[in-house]
Amino acid sequence: MIKDSNLSIKSVFNDDVEFQWESSQSKEYSTTLKGLFHIYKEEKSHYKLLEVSFSLPYLIKQSRKKGLKVLDITNAVIEKVRNNIVGEGLLIKKNNLKFYMYGQIQKWIESLQEICIQINFHEDFFLYRLISNSQQSKVYFAEDRITKIDYAIKVFEKNQFEQEIGAKALKQEIEILRLLKNDYFTKLLKTYEGNQAVYLVFEQQKGGDLQRFLKENDNTLPEKTAFQAIKQLLEGISLMHNLNYMHRDLKPENILLKNKDSLEDLIISDLGLAEKVNNEKNQLFTLCGTPGYVAPEVLKKQPYDQKVDIYGIGIILYTLLTGKNPFQSIIKDETLELNMIGNVNTDKINCSELGKDLLKQLLQLSPNRRPNAQQALRHQYFRNQSSLQIFPKQSIIISKPKFDSIHSEQVSPLTPNLNFDKFKATQIQPQYLRQATPRLDIYQKNNANLMKKFRKAS
């Protein structure tokens, strides 16, 4: 087991801003929790009985002298504490502030963990299999020590952060994950922090990813199956775009399956490159993504917006129908050059004319001529089908029981240090090893240097 120590150093979620309770005249808070607690006043070394309530993301307290006060506890560190006088309690820490509340706290921890940071990750979870490994993070399968339920854990080692950029990117990824509370995206359940790493806890998707599914099904899918997958991606990405964010790294490896032999429930994952859409006065030029799936305007260092995701979905559709990437080449620089030109020949694709028309629209070189997600969903290809007739279940389930249970070869606990690379386990089965593709450097000086692997925040 990794013996990552409790958080005794400054949290990466802290900043230098003074953090304090603020007076509020509002009476419109929708409280989900309320209770009487013994509040410990550290500066006066005494306890005071006070009613505290919670209305996401605020703690709320009210006193006769000072009236209603609120505290935004987003990314505050929470920790169980115990006192011989008043029993079990909860410590909430953020920047310069500490708030102790003693009483019935279990329901509070369950509610606050949605927006707060917990410690003692390894007391709660057992890591048993490495799934993927990149420069920025590692993903493991883990088991909850109490419930025995499996989860996916994304681990960010702090010594890999690039000064403030890494912490900023992590906080933004967490912020976006908390906003996207729907069935189309990976659900962030809890966040932990230790002295050496930050741990994001997700639901475990046991079906692998879309890339694996393709390989197990001769690299191509029937037309109806392919378009059912694309319809789900468009529906999910539409919800993200409505919140004014874009993904910027859509590809088969980042599309997860809830069930390994079915494309009925696809999950969009890896929001590490997701970004808020800027206004016209501050347009995005950031160079990032995966060669072969990047919109041409990104590679040409032109300003871009959410239409880059539409192009990426178009490339995924082409790949599902043909079994290959349209810019595929054994020479990396050639892949990049073809991707930058962006021309995709759809004439020889074995697909209906309406399907080809939608594909061509998704792959328009000019972002202004590409549909947005909602417009694509209103395309005649989808409108021709009634809600009851669209893609019968048998067309999107391919039953090939080729895989063993993920628990068939559980490995021993990790060694008591945080050097993940020295973790010696049984060989990972190919279907559970996600093959990451290199990402583009966002700070490049010329096109000849485009294939360097990196990933930084905007």
Tell me the catalytic residues: 249
| 341 touches 296 (CB < 8 A) | yes
**Segment (H or E) for 47:** strand 46-55
Check whether 282 is labelled as a binding-site residue.
no
- Positive or negative, the Cα torsion across 359, 361, 365, 371? negative
d(CA 94, CA 248) in angstroms, rounded, equals: 31
Ordered strands of the 67-72 beta sheet: 22-23, 67-72, 58-63, 46-55, 33-41, 97-102, 87-94, 77-83
| Helices 223-242/307-322 angle, 10° precision | 170
Structure tokens at 258: 């809830």
Using DSSP's 3-state secondary structure scheme, residue 177 falls into: helix
Q: Give the DSSP per-residue string, 214-270.
A: HHHTTT---HHHHHHHHHHHHHHHHHHHHTTEE-S---GGGEEESSTTB-SSEEE--
Check whether 270 is labelled as a binding-site residue.
yes
| 275 touches 285 (CB < 8 A) | no
Structure tokens at 323: 């079994």
Report the DSSP beta bridge partners of residue 98.
93
d(CA 447, CA 439) in angstroms, rounded, equals: 14
The dihedral region occupied by 78, where left means phi > 0, alpha psi between -120 and 50, and beta the remainder, is: beta
Check whether 175 is labelled as a binding-site residue.
no
| 133 touches 140 (CB < 8 A) | no
| 220 touches 321 (CB < 8 A) | yes
Nearest to 454 by CA among 223, 255, 291: 291
Check whether 3 is labelled as a binding-site residue.
no
CA separation, residue 286 to residues 22, 250, 456 (Å):
37, 16, 10
Binding-site members for ATP are 154, 253-254, 270
Binding-site members are 154, 253-254, 270
